[in-house]
Amino acid sequence: MTLTSSEVETKPFEGQKPGTSGLRKNVKVFQQGNYTENFIQCTLDALGEKLAGSTLVVGGDGRFFGKEAVGIIVQMAAANGVSKLLIGQNGILSTPAVSCVIRKYGTDGGIILTASHNPGGPNGDFGIKFNIANGGPAPSGVTDKIFELSKSITKYKICKDLNVDLSKLDTHDFTVDGRKFTVQVIDSVEDYCGLMKEIFDFGAIKELLTGPSALNITLNALHGVMGPYVKRIVCQELGAPETSAVNCVTLPDFGGGHPDPNLTYAAELVDEMKKGNHGFGAAFDGDGDRNMILGKNAFFITPSDSLAVIAANMECIPYFKKTGVRGYARSMPTAGAVDRVAKALGKEIFEVPTGWKFFGNLMDAGRLSLCGEESFGTGSDHIREKDGLWAVLAWLSILANRKQSVEGIVQDHWKKFGRNVFTRYDYEEVDSAPADKMMAKLNDLVGDPSFVGKSFSHGDKVYKVALADNFEYTDPIDGSVTKKQGIRIVFEDGSRIVFRLSGTGSSGATIRMYIDSYESDQAKLNGDAQEMLKPLVEIALQISQLRELTGREKPTVIT
């Protein structure tokens, strides 16, 4: 089909600044005339010379407005000289699958339509994120460029007559402005499933799930994108019964739920696991990059511990036998459990700011094999995104190998390495002004040299400040410096209090308070985390004056 594109005049919109991972706003913001088009044009323009003749991957988590956005991207990519798009069937691809497809076919990048764990639907959130040719989220240099372009955009290019049926696996060829333009609709699961088969021993996991003493598992996709992946990989390939796949129909509004795999929003999984019928349970977020793992009776594994346990059991995963284990990494607020494994194994360990994009350079340089974040992200250098189902398969590999329960494995880990007791308090949708004020005051406090050495007490516990700063990171590969990545107060016993504002919310501010304390006393290892951390929580609230400044007595989510 031969088509002609046109240019449409437009004006800049304020605030098209990508956050921790892409531009996320209420869906109504994206539905405004030209809003989505402007952001797509700036994203394409940020590719510079690479844009003409490029191949890009497009897919999303199936949320409301996703199909419309894919349609706009197809029309704009054609008009801007992109030569080929690989699009998931019905516009669906999990975030890890996009990363996998970009890398497998060596494309120039991809556009992911997701607001991740934020609710969807006509009143929910939408998001657009650009990933670069290594398969990972665009680094700040690229997102800053997109933002700069968004401030002065005057027109965008579009080929309005170009429409593609995304419901069938097929290849469509067009001629647009005299250039060839191809859209290939690909199976959403196929390539990702193939990669998982290369990484894991599917035979061993199948035996675990179907053998004589089969492990009963339940995987809850919270009506996000992971439904088809769970059904195909875990049920069809690995033999788990269909009943293991819960909420596995992808819905544009996630069934009205909040697709965030934590103890609050994945309460349905927690309640099911409490019944004691399953030895393993997991939930995923909307776009499938986050995971929460639970053992029998809802035994909760913090993401920081999950990372450390996988780090200590890499020999259970065939991929790492092939590649060898390079370094480990975690984001700054993530508890330091993995650091202890790295030390014991003599491996490099990196502490980066919050955001998966900071792991990419280390992986590309061959210095990082496994990393994770407290925000329920775990992954390896098999792709450049965190990967929820990969984490589940990693755990199932460990269970198959060690023939122990989830709880048994974690307790053995604590006995060997000690336990980093961790909690995160989220204060969601706080007014921005008091949240900013609190952060500014904390910034002043940690900038005052006399703060180091001060003591704080609660009950019979006394903590003396050993280090305090606003975290700054120098990338060891490209030397780029990222400043102001969170207030960090470290006490003499190694316990830490961290404060930062979320970079993924769409309205107001979300304050995150992270507490990490190390326990090596064998008699106390199995204590309740909230009880164990009470004194530090109280001290953190005192130091920050969070309650006084925001008027919030309680967090909205405790992890």
Nearer to ligand G16, 127 or 535 (CB): 127
Q: How far apart are CA 454 and CA 272, in angstroms?
A: 46
Coil vs helix vs strand at 128: strand
Q: CB of 195 within 8 A of CB of 382?
A: yes
Coil vs helix vs strand at 445: helix
Q: How far apart are CA 348 and CA 368, in angstroms?
A: 8
Q: If we measure between CA atoms, which residue out of 364, 302, 358, 306 comes closest to residue 485?
A: 358
Binding mask 278-307 for ligand G16 (x = CB under 6 A): -------x---xx-----------------
Nearer to ligand G16, 157 or 357 (CB): 357
Question: Residues 21, 54, 99, 116: which is the catalytic one?
Answer: 116
The two most distant CA atoms of the chain are separated, in Å, by 78
Please list every residue from 314 through 353 that binds ligand G16, using CB under 6 A: 331
Nearer to ligand G16, 284 or 319 (CB): 284
Among 121, 355, 372, 535, binds ligand G16 (CB under 6 A): 355
Q: How far apart are CA 547 and CA 559, in angstroms?
A: 19
Nearer to ligand G16, 331 or 420 (CB): 331
Among 43, 354, 485, 495, binds ligand G16 (CB under 6 A): 354
- Report, in Å, the least distance between residue 253 CB and ligand G16: 18
Nearer to ligand G16, 423 or 502 (CB): 502
Q: How far apart are CA 319 and CA 394, in angstroms?
A: 10
Coil vs helix vs strand at 79: helix
- Report, in Å, the least distance between residue 543 CB and ligand G16: 20
- Report, in Å, the least distance between residue 505 CB and ligand G16: 6
Nearer to ligand G16, 26 or 216 (CB): 26
Binding mask 87-116 for ligand G16 (x = CB under 6 A): -----------------------------x
116 is catalytic: yes
Among 10, 20, 323, 482, binds ligand G16 (CB under 6 A): 20
Q: If we measure between CA atoms, which residue out of 318, 284, 288 comes closest to residue 202?
A: 318
Among 16, 21, 43, 55, binds ligand G16 (CB under 6 A): 21
- Report, in Å, the least distance between residue 37 CB and ligand G16: 23
Q: CB of 497 within 8 A of CB of 539?
A: yes
- Report, in Å, the least distance between residue 552 CB and ligand G16: 17
| Total number of residues that touch ligand G16 (CB under 6 A) | 18
Q: How far apart are CA 146 and CA 422, in angstroms?
A: 36
Among 63, 84, 117, 413, binds ligand G16 (CB under 6 A): 117
Nearer to ligand G16, 61 or 108 (CB): 61
Nearer to ligand G16, 220 or 504 (CB): 504
DSSP string, 358-398: HHHHHHHTT-EEEEEETTTEEEETTSSS--HHHHHHHHHHH
- Report, in Å, the least distance between residue 510 CB and ligand G16: 6
Q: How far apart are CA 190 and CA 223, in angstroms?
A: 20
Q: How far apart are CA 301 and CA 310, in angstroms?
A: 12
Q: How far apart are CA 321 and CA 231, in angstroms?
A: 28
- Report, in Å, the least distance between residue 323 CB and ligand G16: 22
- Report, in Å, the least distance between residue 224 CB and ligand G16: 11
Please list every residue from 482 through 511 that binds ligand G16, using CB under 6 A: 502-504
The secondary element (H helix, E strand) that includes residue 501 is strand 496-501
Q: How far apart are CA 162 and CA 57, in angstroms?
A: 18
Amino acid at residue number 418? G
Coil vs helix vs strand at 475: coil
Please list every residue from 365 through 404 that binds ligand G16, using CB under 6 A: 373, 375, 377
Amino acid at residue number 361? N
Sheet strand arrangement including 461-470: 455-458, 461-470, 487-491, 496-501, 509-519, 419-430, 557-558
Catalytic residues: 116
* Contact residues: ligand G16, CB under 6 A: 20-21, 116-117, 285, 289-290, 331, 354-356, 373, 375, 377, 502-504, 512
